[in-house]
Amino acid sequence: METNFEKMIDLSRRIRIHVLNMVNDAQSSHIGASYSIVEILVILYSRILKIDPKNPCEVTRDKFILSKAHGSCALYAILAEFEFFPLDFLKKYFIDGGILPGHLDKESAPGIEHSMGSLGHGLPFGVGLAYANKIDQNKGQIYVLVGDGECNEGTIWESAMFAGHHKLDNLTLIIDYNKIQSFGRVDDIINLEPFGQKWTSFNWDVIEIDGHNFEQLINAFESKSKKPKVIIANTVKGKGVSFMENTLEWHYKSTNSEQYDSALKELKSK
Partner 1 sequence: MRTTFVNTLKQLARNDKRIFLITADMGFSVFEDFREEFPDRFLNTGIAEQNTIGIAAGLAMSGKIVYVYSIIPFITMRCFEQIRLDLAYNNANVKLIGVGAGFTYGSMGSSHHAIEDISIMRSIPNMTVLCPGDPFETEELVKRSHEIPGPVYLRLGKNGEPTIHKNKNKINIGESINITEGDDLILITTSNTLELGKSWVDEWNLEGITVNLVSVPTIKPINQSSIIKLIDRNIPIITLEEHNIIGGLGSTISEIIAESGKGVKFRRMGINDVFSHYVGSAEFQRKKLNILQKPKKSWFLK
List 53, 128, 184, 194, residue binding partner 1 (CB under 8 A): 128
Query: Smallest distance, Å, CB 70 to partner 1?
Result: 14
- Separation of alpha carbons 82 and 32, rounded Å: 22
Q: Which x/- pattern, by CB under 8 A, does the window 51-90 give for partner 1?
A: --------x-------------------------------
Site membership for partner 1, residue 155 (CB under 8 A)? yes
Q: Which x/- pattern, by CB under 8 A, does the window 205-244 give for partner 1?
A: ----------------------------------------
Cβ burial of 239 (10 Å; 0-12, 13-18, 19+) is: buried
Which of 21-29, 159-167, 228-236, 257-265 is the region at the interface with partner 1 (rule: CB under 8 A)?
A: 159-167
Site membership for partner 1, residue 170 (CB under 8 A)? no
- Separation of alpha carbons 263 and 243, rounded Å: 8
Site membership for partner 1, residue 145 (CB under 8 A)? no
Helix (H) or strand (E) holding 136: helix 122-136
Q: How many CA atoms lie within 13 A of 6 on its CB side?
A: 0
How many CB atoms sit inside 10 A of residue 62's CB? 18
Helix (H) or strand (E) holding 172: strand 171-177
Q: Which residues bind partner 1 (CB under 8 A)?
A: 59, 106, 113-118, 120-121, 123-133, 135-136, 138, 154-155, 158-159, 161-162
